Amino acid sequence: MTGEFLPRSDVPGAYCIIVVTSQRQDFKSREYVGKYQGARAKYLGDLAEGKIFKLKVRCALSEFNLRRAEYQIHLFSETGEQVAMSNSRALKSLTQEEFQKFQESLGKRKS
């Protein structure tokens, strides 16, 4: 996935979460058998106001129907606060448990 962010304010310790939602399909019968949802987090670092950040993310996911997939990108600051973007549908604060989980995950990836 590639894209660009143009922050309207500084975002220290930014990271994004990419969510892919698609219909799960049985490849033998070709019938749809439910939903598939996968998510990955990527540490971005400090984003500066007015400076374009080019996003390039590559991650492994289970098989999904590419033609019926929906993609969402959520941007967060280092404190776990979600940053509104032009395509934001709604903002949702992370629970303390979710925030800790992502912090631990990102800490491993930064080093």
* 57-90 residue pLDDT tens: 887 777 776 777 888 888 999 988 888 776 666 6
Residues 17, 88, 92, 20, CA torsion sign = negative
Query: H/E element holding 102?
Result: helix 96-110
| Overall domain count for the chain | 1
Strand-pair partners of 83: 75
Confidence of residue 98 (pLDDT cuts 50, 70, 90): confident
pTM over 0.85: no
> How many C-beta neighbours within 10 Å does residue 11 have?
22
Domain boundaries, position 86: 2-110
Q: What is the pLDDT of residue 106?
A: 66
